[in-house]
Amino acid sequence: MDPRLYEAITSGNIYKLETLLATRNDVNAYITTQTTATRKNTVLHVAAQFKRKMFVAEICKRCSQPELLIMQQNVNGDTVLHIAARLGLSDIVKALMHHINAHSNNTSTTTNNNHRGTMVHELLRMTNKKKNTALHEAFRNHKFLLGSLLIEADPLVEYFPNNAGETPLYLAAEAGLYEFVVKILKICPSSSTHNGPNGRTALHVAVAKGYSEITKLLLEKIPSIIYQRDENGNSALHYAAYFSKPKVAVQLLEADPSIAWAKDHDGKTALHIAASSRLPRNIAYLIKVDTLGPVHYTKVGPLGFQPFAYMKFKCENIQVIEEVTKCCQECWEELDNNGRNFLHIAAENGSVNVIKYILGKSNLAENIINDEDNQGNTPLHLVLRSKCVECLRILSRDKRVDKMAVNGDNLTALDILLRDLDKADMPHREFIQAGYRYLFDGGLLWYGRSQIRIDKEDESFGAITRNKYKIAIECAKELTESQMLVTTLVSAVTYTTGLALPGGYISTGGPSSGLGLATLNGIPAFKAFVGCNSTALLLSIIVLLIHYFNKLIPHRNAKSVVLRALVTHVLMFSAIVLMLMAFIIGNYLFFGHSLTFIIPVASAGTVIVLYFLVKFFKKTK
């Protein structure tokens, strides 16, 4: 392109353009042959890129056949209309169509009138190398006012998809443009109008974004669209379930309740998808429709959506499950291609809220809580894959869950948990410790926050048994520090109290009169106080000695670990109870044998002790 012409356009100096054209005898040939070296942009392309409306008008006036220049394409197949639509330049679009019409108005014959309309429509329907029309470009770049102008200029067009599989209706539905959806459906209600990439439709994307008005309109105007699936077999209800859109889910179920039975290529219903959705509900996630691949349980989810616009997810996937359940309770027992119900899926993906909801429906959960998949895994087996401590805690504490169920490899959930202990990193090892406390059955010792159970198997039985021994030691070590702290505190308190006795000491008279003895010596209550306090001190010292010798004497097996832990646990609990009794008796002596203060304190202490005893014996059942 002539550098002088290019500079005049880019600088916006219309005087330079007029002066340059005035020096040319072949203005029409000069204008039509000037293109850039790389992209082959014409003078109109360049003027549109730099938003020079006056230049577009002047160039079209100087050209004998402006429609040919307007329709000329660059190396990407873009006309000047594509560029103007991409940039949202409504005034340039109007100017282009005006010059085509004005040039055709030189004659008034019917043939020319038809030709004039045909030329405008041909321009509007021209596609670039990506098969995008100007309307595609307007919608893709969110130039919606210009899109309305283009629709009105060519109301009889049938909208075909571009190379990405997107039709203008799909793009309008994705952007939530209700009025444009209405216009396009009125102009062209054919089945090809609503198609999107990878088999998706405008309904899929409207549901994913939660646009209820557009969803309602599409269901009314194209009833058959509800049955269309994407290339992975996902229906619109699958999208509503994954993206937690209960409002549009209700619309779909009201349109046809049988959609609740629809399965994707992996055999998953909407309930499976809702259960697999583990996006944190208080974190914003991005959901631009991109390409769909095989089902992967990743952060972006099984429907293959990639980042685009932030959306907050709450616990609305539970509401979707409730709506599907109201419509069809039998769907709870539906299995996917791996033989899994939706509790299996929720457990595998660590969906805490879904697990709580399912277990809360006692009449329905009873039939699926211990179901086995094709590999014999129950939900308790699969929850270990999620490494979610809360999910494991909820399932393991439900009395209906069979903790001793074995899968096809003859492994219990505990066996699976401990199988790879040696290879586990620190976060996984912490999960194993927590899971061990929840799953290990047989001869329970409730030891602080842990459940350590006597291992009745020989250590030589295999890796799983050896790992039980290792994890038992780890649990014991984890609680040693806290127990040492409590033991030291009890020792210090009881030792101090033993030297500062209630009532003090006899400080007058000689040895025959009891000099140095306790003032309250001989009173039964005082003797009880001294006995409780001294015993508590003795027991706490024994616990300290046991912990000390634990460092010196190695453990032979898991049973020795638990037996030593059992001794320290019982001794420590007894020392605390005796210290409490000493406190109550001491106050009884201080208040002159009055029960006014003693009864409430003794009652509170008794309730606390009984509470922990009940909890202990429940855990040892």
User: What is d(CA 227, CA 605) in angstroms, rounded to the nearest whole number?
Assistant: 66
The answer to whether position 298 is within a domain reads: no
DSSP one-letter code for 511: G
Which residue segment(s) compose the domain that 611 sits in?
Answer: 461-504+516-618
Cα dihedral 48, 50, 55, 61, rounded to 10, equals -10
Same domain, 483 and 603: yes
Residues 498 and 575 in one domain: yes
pTM above 0.75, yes or no: no
Q: Is residue 269 part of a domain?
A: no
Structure confidence at residue 234 (pLDDT): 92
Q: Which residue has the tokens 């329709």?
A: 71
Which range has the worst mean pLDDT, 76-90, 563-577, 595-609?
Answer: 595-609
465 shares its domain with 608 = yes
CATH number at residue 407: 1.25.40.20
Residues 414 and 475 in one domain: no
Q: Are residues 118 and 32 in the same domain?
A: yes
Residues 433 and 465 placed together within one structural domain of the fold: no
Total tally of structural domains belonging to the chain: 3
Domain check: are 9 and 71 in the same one?
yes
Q: Which residues contact 136 (CB under 8 A, 6 or more apart)?
A: 162, 166, 168, 171
Residue 563 belongs to some domain of the structure? yes
Q: What is the pLDDT of residue 249?
A: 92
- Of the two residues 376 and 569, the one the predictor is more confident about is 376
How deeply is 34 buried, as exposed, middle or buried, from its count of CB atoms within 10 A (0-12, 13-18, 19+)? middle
- Assign 245 to helix, strand or coil: coil
**Mean pLDDT lowest among 137-151, 214-228, 546-560, 564-578:** 546-560
End-to-end CA distance of the chain: give it in Å, rounded: 91
Burial class (CB in 10 A: 0-12, 13-18, 19+), 159: buried
* Stretch 294-306: mean pLDDT: 38
Q: What is the mean pLDDT of residues 435-456?
A: 48
Q: pLDDT band for 198, please (50, 70, 90 cuts).
A: confident
Question: Do 401 and 367 belong to one domain?
Answer: yes
Residue 121 domain-assigned (yes or no)? yes
Cβ–Cβ under 8 Å, residues 85 and 128: no
CB 358 within 8 A of CB 343: yes
**What pLDDT was estimated at residue 463?**
53
pLDDT in the model for residue 20: 84
- Let me know if residue 145 belongs to a domain: yes
Helices 379-386, 342-349: axis angle to 10 degrees equals 30
CB 310 within 8 A of CB 284: yes
- Residue 81 is assigned to a structural domain of this protein: yes
Distance in angstroms (rounded) separating the CA atoms of residues 343 and 401: 12
Distance CA 201, CA 203 (A): 5
- Tell me which of 178 and 289 has the higher pLDDT: 178
pLDDT (0 to 100) of residue 282: 29
Residues 17 and 122 in one domain: yes
**Domain check: are 119 and 23 in the same one?**
yes
- Residues 531, 413 share a domain: no
Q: Are residues 406 and 468 part of one domain?
A: no
Mind listing the pLDDT tens digit for each residue in 229-238?
Answer: 989 999 999 9
Tokens of 338: 């791996």
Q: Is residue 221 part of a domain?
A: no
Strands 284-288 and 450-453, sheet pairing:
unpaired
Highest mean pLDDT among 179-188, 507-516, 591-600: 179-188
Please, what sign has the CA dihedral across residues 538, 543, 548, 550?
A: positive
